[in-house]
Every structure is written in structure tokens, then in C-alpha cells.
Structure 1
Amino acid sequence: MRLILISMLLLISFGVNANEIKPFTSDGCSVFPDGTFAQNELWLACCTAHDYDYWQGGTFKQRLESDKRLKQCVHAVGERYIANIMLVGVRLGGSPNFPTTYRWGYGWPYPRGYQALTSDEIQQIKALQFNGI
């Protein structure tokens, strides 16, 4: 009986904030360097913009577009080879199905998966607008 009660309380607590996004955070390029040895933040701005997309999540198509923008951004700072490696990394490691801090839609409670943002969710994102992007 006690186990059932605890389980029910946990389920209720997960459901209370299920539709609320946490404030934006970025860990830079996650498990990848933020730049070269000579320029240690060379593509950090690219990763921060990419994190902003990943924080809010959305559809599979939106994730693919975000990943392509990351590749283009890193390529634009002169790192074509690194851009291709990063694209492979985010495509493999950024799935919304992984319970990581850098998954697609990481601002929302896990699990979220791929889904279009509702008008209420877009309003929440706008209220927490990150001015550095």
C-alpha cells in the first residue's frame, strides 16, 4: 500500500510541471570543445544558438534544420572539417529519447519526444527569451 501511495505521488508531481519549460541554460558545445587551442571559443556562439533551439525543442524537421544551421555556422568560422564532425555528433547524440541535459527539448520535462510547440509553449519561450541569440 505504501509503495502504491509513493508511486502515485511521484506520478502526480511529474504531471504538475509537465507543460512548463525551465529557464534557458547552455553548456556550450556539450561534450565537444568550444573552439581550438589557439581560439578556445571559436565556435561557442554557434553552439549556444544550437542549444537555444534544443532547449525549446519541436518537431523532427526543426531539429534537422537546427543541426544544419550549427554545421553552417561552424563552417562559416573556417572549420569545415569540425562542422561535419559536429553534425554527426549532434545527429547521433541529441535525440529527445535520451535522458541527457543536451537532448532535443531539454528545457521540458523528460520524456517529451518530437512535437510541435503549442501556442502556450511558444508564449512561455517568449517570456524567457534569451537575448544573446
Structure 2
Amino acid sequence: MKVNAENIKPFTSDGCSSFPDGTFKQNELWLGCCTDHDYSYWQGGTYNERLEADKELRECVHAVGEPQIAQLMLAGVRVGGSPYLPTSFRWGYGWSYPRWYQALTDNEKAQIEKLKVDDAN
């Protein structure tokens, strides 16, 4: 079993990464969906957690009235968000590369909660 004593970096979001944050008329229409998705990607976790985060992104963008964009975004994040690529938007980007898929430990969850509380203050 791998022991990971690393600390997660503070949360950052680049919006919808290399994808527009909205339409020409509403240029931030689905930006909130992407920021929520980034939060999940920042912390990382298991393969199934990533799949769920990606489905939530699709559902969120669909809910703002863009079902075709939602499907396109789902395809993009499934291909481009792999933890195996050393990108700034990969699954688990809050941790040092490589992270791969792995469940968060209690210590890691506590770090994430502390940062969430610190950001709220």
C-alpha cells in the first residue's frame, strides 16, 4: 500500500479549460458547471468518482439548456482529463503528478475540508 504524506495544493480553476465558458450571448453560461467539475478534478479519487464528476458536468450543462454542448464536453473531459497525462487539468491535479486513480485517505479528506473552511473565511 502506498503511503502518501503529500499536501494538496490550494484549489484553482481555469474555468472550462480549453473550452468556452458559455455562448457568445451568455459568455459564462456553464462556467459554474466547469468550476464545480474542476473542484472534483482538483481533489481526485477513484475512477468511478471521476466518471460521476463527468456525468454531473454533462447534467449541469444540459440543465442550462445546452444538451449538445453537454455531450461534447463529456466526450472532451473523458479523453482529456485522464490522470495519466501531465496536464494542469487532469484528474487529481491538486496533488503532484503522477497521482493516478486512488481513493482519498482520511488525512487527504481532512486537508480538503480544511482548505474548504479556510476559503469560506
Q: Name the TM-score, length of structure 1 as normaliser.
A: 0.84
Contact map agreement 1:34 1:43 (CA 8 A) in 2: yes
Residue aligning to 1:88? 75
Residue aligning to 1:55? 42
Offset at residue 18 of structure 1 (A): 5.9
For residue 111 of structure 1, what is the amino acid of its counterpart? P
Inter-partner Cα distance in structure 2 for 1:107 and 1:46: 18
- 102, 106, 111: which one aligns with 2:98: 111
Within-5 A mapping of 1:1-133: 19-129=6-116
Ranges of 4+ aligned residues in structure 1 off by more than 2 Å: none
Contact map agreement 1:18 1:108 (CA 8 A) in 2: no
Offset at residue 19 of structure 1 (A): 1.3
**Sequence identity (%):** 69
Give the aligned CA root-mean-square deviation in angstroms: 1.5
Larger Rg: 1
Q: Name the TM-score, length of structure 2 as normaliser.
A: 0.92
Q: What secondary structure does 1:129 align onto?
A: helix
